[in-house]
Structure 1
Amino acid sequence: MSSCDVPGLMPLADAIKKMQDTLCNVCEVITLPLSSALGYTLSQDIISQQNVPPFNNSAMDGYALHCDDLIDCSVMQPISLIEVGKSFAGAPFEGSIQRGQCIRIMTGAMIPDALNCVVMQEQVTVDGETITFVNAPKLHNNLRFTGEDISVGQTVLSKGHKLTPRDIPLLASLGFSELPVYRQLKVAVMSSGDELRPLGSKLEQGEIYDSNRYSIIGLLSRINVEVIDFGIIKDDYSEIKAALIKADQQADVVITSGGVSVGDADFIKQVLNEIGEIGFWKLAIKPGKPFAFGKLQNSVFFGLPGNPVSAIVTLYQLAVPAMAKMSGEAVKAPLRLNAVCIDTLRKAPGRTDFQRGNYSVNEQGQLIVTTTGNQGSGVFSSMSQSNCFIVLEQDRGNIAKGETVEIEPYSQLMD
C-alpha cells in the first residue's frame, strides 16, 4: 500500500515543503541589548570589528624569550637567560629586551614583538633573575596570535541564526552591546472540546482534563515566542468562530488542539473555510493524520489533532519548523541516525510512523533502540518515557528484531 491507496492523505515531505514554500518571515526587526537577546534570531550578519585575540599573547604561565637563544639547549647543555621584567594580563611589559634575556609572562598577557616563544614555568629552574632552561623550544611555542580566533571583517554569525548560550560570550568578547534581531512571533493557543475541563476541577462522567494546551505551551516556551492563551473553547460553531477571529486579530499564528477530524461536532474546519482558507488537511503520518494547515486574514493556522501524542508530534514535526521560518530563522533538517532495533515493531504501510523509543549505545559500540511500548495516539506515557522518535518510512511494513531503523533523537525542545 502507498499513500495513493489512502485518498486525501498528503505525504509528510510534501506537507513540509508546501508550508516552507508558502510561509515567509512576518517579524519586524528590533534592537535588543546583548543581555536580552538569547533565543532571538539575528536579522543580519554579524561582522567582527576587531581581532580576537587583539594582540599576540601567551597560552601559558612561563617565560617569554627568543627561541634562537636556546637553539643549543639540552639536558646535557642547559642555558640560562636573565629575567628583565614581567608581563601580566592587562599590564604588559613595556621595556626593551636584548638577546640572552627573557621576561616572566602569565596566561593571556601580551608578548613583546621581539620574542617568539614561551616556555612553561614547570620546565625551568629559577635562581633569582637567572632562569635556566634544559630544552630547546620550537618557534611560536605556546603563543596565541592576533586574529587567530576571529579576524576583522569576518562573519561571526549569519542572518537567520538563533542565538544560543554559546553565542553570547562570543559576541561579548567582540564588544557587541546590542544586536538587530527579529521580534518574537505571537502565537495564540486554544483547546477545543466539550469534554475538556481545566486542571483542578472535578471530572464528571465522560470528561477529561485539558492536557494538550499545557504540552503545547510548554514546548512553545522553549522557542522564544509570545504565547496568548485562549483556554478551552466549547464545541460550538459561534464560539469557535468568535475565538478564531479574535485570535487572528492578536497573533501571527493560531494553534488549536482538537476539532479538526471528521466528527459531527468538529467545527474548526467549517469555520476555517468561511473566514480563511485551508492549505491542506489530513496527512499520511501516524500519529497525527487530522492535522490542518491554513491561513486566516492576518495569521497562519495550525490545527493539531485532539489525541495528546498526535498533538505533540505534529506540533514538533510540522508547526515548529514552520514557525521558525516565520520568525526569520534558518530552518535546519532534524538530526536522524541509523540504529539497530532491539524489538519487533508493528506497522502498516501507507503512512510515515513516528513511534516512541529509547536509544542507547551497547557494549559493542552499536547504536540501538527499543520501543517504549504501547504506541497509541492517546498513550502519552510512551512519549514521557522516550528519548527519540523511531521514524518508519511511509511504505515500510512490520519491523523485525535486528533490523536497522532511522531514529530522531529529541532536540532540546523535547528534552
Structure 2
Amino acid sequence: MADWSGGNDRGPTPKADAIWTCVAGEAPLYHRNRQAAEDWLTARIGDEIDAGRRVLAGFDFPFGYPAGLARALVGEDDPLILWRWFAERIEDAPKANNRFDVAGEINRLFSGTGPFWGNGLKRDIHDLPRKGRARDFDAVPEWRVAERRAKGAFPCWQMTGAGAVGGQVMMGLPMLWRLRDRFGAAAWPFEPLEDKPLALVEVWPSLIRKVVAEAQRADEVRDAAQVRVLAAAVAALPPDRLAKMLSVEAPEAAAEGWIFGLGHEDTLADAARAATALKPPALQNDCFALPPGVEWTPVDAALALLRDRLEPVTATETVPLGDALGRVLADPVVARRSNPPLPNSAVDGYGFACADLPVGDPVLPLVAGRAAAGLRYEGTVPPGHAIRVLTGAALPDGVDTVVMQEDVELGAGEVAFRAGVKAGANVRRAGEDVTAGDEVLAAGRVVTPADLALCAAVGVDRLTVRKPLRVAVISTGDELVEPGKAAEPGQIYDANRPMLLALIERAGHVPVDLGRIADDRVRLRAAFDAAAAQADAVLTSGGASAGDEDHVSALLQQAGAMSLWRMAIKPGRPLALGMWQGVPVFGLPGNPVAAIVTACVFALPALGLLAGRGWRVPQGFDLPAAFSKRKKAGRREFLRARIRDGRAEVFRSEGSGLISGLSWAEGLVDLPEDTAEISEGDAVRFIPWSGFGL
C-alpha cells in the first residue's frame, strides 16, 4: 500500500503528508520524494515477481477522472491512454514539477473557467484560478461516481489546499503508467487481472478511518498507520472476499475507476481489526525465544541481503603512487609498458646467437664493448661472435642466448664453453612478466607495497583510488560511563566504543567517534543525523533489541528503515540493520563479545563492500577440535578460540559479557546451524582475526 503525495521533497526526517509505503507484515517506509519512492517500488515489486509471487499494489489517489475529460484530451474514453498523456507531459523533480502548468493547459481546452483550480505557486498560472469559487464550468462532472458514494472524498480537480488530491492524481498517474509498462501489470478495474503478475488498484484508507485511528500507535505518523493497517487488512482477506471486492458492478467504473473496498467497508474494517489486534504471546522461559510470527534469519540469508543491496559509496580521486598505499583501487590498472620492455639477461655472462654456434665446444671471438643495464648496446653482434653481458642488460641485436660467466673460459679476445647450451638460456623474454595493455591490478584491490613496485615497473605513476570509508561509532545506554571516571552502582565502563573504533581502523577505514548517547530517543535521533552528515556508515552498540529502552531499533522502525533483525546467531541475536538518511546503520548488541562477533560477521564484509573492495568472505581453515560441545540445531555459533598444538581451543565460557575471552582468543570457531555435537578431534572451522581483515 502506498500513501502518495503531489508535493516536493520532504527531507530526510519522516513526517506526515509525505509518501509512505508498507508491505503487509513489515514496517511502514518513509520516502522523501516521488523519485525515491518509485525506485523503491520498482525494486521491491521486481524482487517479489522474480521470486514467483503476484503483487497487489494499492495507491491512495483516483485512477481516473470524471467521464468526459479523457475524450476531451485524447479523443476517446480510455482512461489508460489518459495515463500515458500525463506521463508524456509531466515534468517531475524532487524540488519542483509542472503540475499547476499542466492543469492550466487542460483548462484552456474548455470554455469557461476550470475544471481544475488551486495554485500553490507564487506566480500566476494562466487559466488556473486560485480559488474554486472563481470557476465557471460544467463541461465535465465535479465528482466521479465512486467519490459521490465515498463519504468525505474530495474531487480530482482541487490542486492545492486542505484535502486536495488533484496533485496526487496528476503526479501519480505517470508513475502508474511506468509500473504497468515495466511489469505488464493490470490496472484495476480497467483491465482483467487474470494471471498478471501485478495488480494496480485504487485505495482510500478513509474507508476504514475508525479502525486506523484505533490501531495507530502513540508515536506513529497517521500516514504510516494508514498504509500499515490497510496492507494488513487486504492481506488478511479470504480469497472469496478479495475476489468479491475486485468485482465492480458500477458501469461508470470502466471509464472513471473505482475505490477498492467501496461498498464493502464493514468487511474491510473487520479484516483490519483482526489483522491488527494485539495478540499476547505465550509465556516463555527461554530468553532467546522469539515473538510469535518472527522467524530466525539465517546468517547466510542476512549476508546475502547485505551483499545484494549495498554498493560502493565512497568518492574517487587520483593520487601519486606514494600516496596510494592501503587505498582501494577504483579503476583497474593497465600496464603502459611491458615488463621487461626488452629481452634482457638474467645473469652476468656472455651473449650470442645460439643458431650460429659451431659443432663441438664453441670458442667465440668477443666484440668490443659490453651490454650493461641502463643504455642498450647500439651495435649488432655478428654471427659466430659473443659479447660481454651483465645482469639486467637489454640483449643487443644478434643475441638470443647467454652463458653464465662461471661456465666459460676467458682468453685473449675470445671465450670458450662446453657444447649443449640451450637456445634462450638465461634470457628474460620481453613482456615475460607483463605485456603492455594487460590489466595488472583489478578494481577493488587494497594497494600493497608490492603493487606499488608493479605499477612503477609498467610505467604507471598515478592511481585512481577511493576515498577512505568513514564509519561513525555510537555507544548507547544510561548505564555507560567513560573509562577512568567514577562509576555509580549499576553503571559500567564503555568497552565497546574503543573496541569498535580500533576495529574500524584496523580494517582500513576512518573511525568517527560520536561518543556515548543516553537512553533518550531525541538525542539518539540527533546523533543519527550527525552521523549521516559526517560518515558513510554507522555502527552502534546497545539498544538493538525490542525493550522499552532499545531506541536504535525503535528509531529505525519508526523511520521505516529497519531491514531485518533477530539473527540465527550466537552470540548476537538482537542485531538491527537499517538505513538512516541513506546511510547504512549496523545496530550491534550491547554485550562486548556479541558486539565484536556481529561486527566481524556482518559489519566488516558490508563495510568492505561500501568502501569499494567488493564482498569478501572471511578466510578460515579446518582444524581438529580440542573441545567437545553439544549445541541446538538452528543457530550458527561463533566461539572465542585459539590454536595450540595444531588444535582449536575454545574459551572456558560462552558468556557474552566476559571480555577477557576476547583478549585470550586468536579468532573464532564457526559452528554451522545444523551442527548438533562436536567431539574432540572433530574438524571445526577456525577463522583467525586476520581472516576477518583485522
TM-score, structure 1 normalization? 0.90
* Contact 2:667–2:688, Cα closer than 8 Å, also in 1: yes
Indicate the structure whose relative CO is greater, using CA pairs within 8 Å and at least 6 residues apart. Answer: 1
Number of the residue aligned with 2:337: 50
SS at 1:114's partner residue? coil
How many residue pairs are counted as aligned between the two chains?
A: 407
Over 3 Å counting, the alpha-carbon distance change for 1:5 and 1:89 in structure 2 is farther
Are 1:409 and 2:693 counterparts? no
* Contact 2:619–2:692, Cα closer than 8 Å, also in 1: no
1:164-197 CA distances to partner (integer Å, 9 max, x unpaired)? 3331211121222222222222221111122222
Alpha-carbon distance in structure 2 between the residues aligned to 1:241 and 1:111: 69
Unaligned regions of 5+ residues in structure 2, if any?
1-288
1:151-176 CA distances to partner (integer Å, 9 max, x unpaired)? 12211122233323331211121222
Q: Which of 572, 588, 591 matches 1:288?
A: 572
* Contact 2:311–2:609, Cα closer than 8 Å, also in 1: yes
1:232-265 CA distances to partner (integer Å, 9 max, x unpaired)? 1112222212211221222221110112134432
Q: Which of 627, 645, 648 matches 1:369?
A: 648
Number of the residue aligned with 1:237: 521
Pair member with larger Rg:
2
Instruction: Give 1:15 deviation, angstroms.
Output: 0.5
Instruction: Give 1:391 deviation, angstroms.
Output: 1.0
1:89-125 CA distances to partner (integer Å, 9 max, x unpaired)? 1033223322332222221111113111111222223
SS at 1:171's partner residue? helix
* Contact 2:635–2:673, Cα closer than 8 Å, also in 1: yes
Q: Which of 465, 478, 481 matches 1:194?
A: 478
SS at 1:152's partner residue? coil
Instruction: Give 1:33 deviation, angstroms.
Output: 1.9
The AA in structure 2 aligned to 1:326 is: L
Are 1:260 and 2:544 counterparts? yes
The AA in structure 2 aligned to 1:15 is: A
Alpha-carbon distance in structure 2 between the residues aligned to 1:83 and 1:412: 57
* Contact 1:355–1:391, Cα closer than 8 Å, also in 2: yes
Instruction: Give 1:71 deviation, angstroms.
Output: 5.7
Are 1:89 and 2:376 counterparts? no
Alpha-carbon distance in structure 2 between the residues aligned to 1:394 and 1:4: 20
Number of the residue aligned with 1:205: 489
SS at 2:341's partner residue? coil
Instruction: Give 1:289 deviation, angstroms.
Output: 1.0
Are 1:64 and 2:351 counterparts? yes
The AA in structure 2 aligned to 1:44 is: D
Alpha-carbon distance in structure 2 between the residues aligned to 1:3 and 1:337: 33
1:180-229 CA distances to partner (integer Å, 9 max, x unpaired)? 22222222111112222223323343332222111211121133333221
Q: Which of 657, 664, 679 matches 1:400?
A: 679
Superposition map of 1:9-28 within 5 A: 9-28=296-315
Alpha-carbon distance in structure 2 between the residues aligned to 1:274 and 1:404: 45
Are 1:115 and 2:376 counterparts? no
The AA in structure 2 aligned to 1:239 is: R
Over 3 Å counting, the alpha-carbon distance change for 1:315 and 1:118 in structure 2 is same
Instruction: Give 1:3 deviation, angstroms.
Output: 10
The AA in structure 1 aligned to 2:605 is: P
Alpha-carbon distance in structure 1 between the residues aligned to 2:630 and 2:396: 70
Alpha-carbon distance in structure 1 between the residues aligned to 2:301 and 2:480: 33
Alpha-carbon distance in structure 1 between the residues aligned to 2:679 and 2:602: 29
Number of the residue aligned with 2:657: 378
Alpha-carbon distance in structure 2 between the residues aligned to 1:171 and 1:22: 33
Moved more, 234-243 or 196-205: 196-205
Are 1:129 and 2:404 counterparts? no
Number of the residue aligned with 2:554: 270
The AA in structure 2 aligned to 1:389 is: L
Superposition map of 1:201-350 within 5 A: 201-350=485-634
Number of the residue aligned with 1:389: 668
Instruction: Report which of the two has the higher share of strand.
Output: 1
Instruction: Give 1:387 deviation, angstroms.
Output: 2.8
Number of the residue aligned with 1:171: 455
Alpha-carbon distance in structure 2 between the residues aligned to 1:326 and 1:380: 29
The AA in structure 2 aligned to 1:58 is: S
Alpha-carbon distance in structure 1 between the residues aligned to 2:394 and 2:607: 47
The AA in structure 1 aligned to 2:526 is: A
Over 3 Å counting, the alpha-carbon distance change for 1:102 and 1:5 in structure 2 is farther
Alpha-carbon distance in structure 1 between the residues aligned to 2:629 and 2:408: 65
Alpha-carbon distance in structure 1 between the residues aligned to 2:456 and 2:291: 54
Q: Which of 439, 455, 471 matches 1:155?
A: 439
Over 3 Å counting, the alpha-carbon distance change for 1:410 and 1:228 in structure 2 is closer
The AA in structure 1 aligned to 2:667 is: C
Alpha-carbon distance in structure 2 between the residues aligned to 1:361 and 1:87: 55
Unaligned regions of 5+ residues in structure 1, if any?
363-367
The AA in structure 1 aligned to 2:374 is: G
Number of the residue aligned with 1:38: 325
The AA in structure 1 aligned to 2:312 is: N
* Contact 2:507–2:693, Cα closer than 8 Å, also in 1: no
Alpha-carbon distance in structure 1 between the residues aligned to 2:483 and 2:453: 41
* Contact 2:321–2:452, Cα closer than 8 Å, also in 1: yes
* Contact 1:260–1:268, Cα closer than 8 Å, also in 2: yes
Alpha-carbon distance in structure 2 between the residues aligned to 1:248 and 1:118: 64
Over 3 Å counting, the alpha-carbon distance change for 1:195 and 1:128 in structure 2 is farther
Alpha-carbon distance in structure 2 between the residues aligned to 1:307 and 1:148: 55
Number of the residue aligned with 1:365: none
Instruction: Give 1:141 deviation, angstroms.
Output: 0.5
- Give the percent of matched residue pairs that are identical in Structure 1 and Structure 2: 36
Instruction: Give 1:19 deviation, angstroms.
Output: 1.3
* Contact 1:86–1:92, Cα closer than 8 Å, also in 2: no
Instruction: Give 1:129 deviation, angstroms.
Output: 3.4
Moved more, 80-89 or 57-66: 80-89
1:238-296 CA distances to partner (integer Å, 9 max, x unpaired)? 22122112212222211101121344322221222233511011200111111110011
Moved more, 279-288 or 98-107: 98-107
SS at 1:246's partner residue? helix
Over 3 Å counting, the alpha-carbon distance change for 1:78 and 1:144 in structure 2 is closer
Instruction: Give 1:301 deviation, angstroms.
Output: 0.7
Instruction: Give 1:413 deviation, angstroms.
Output: 5.5
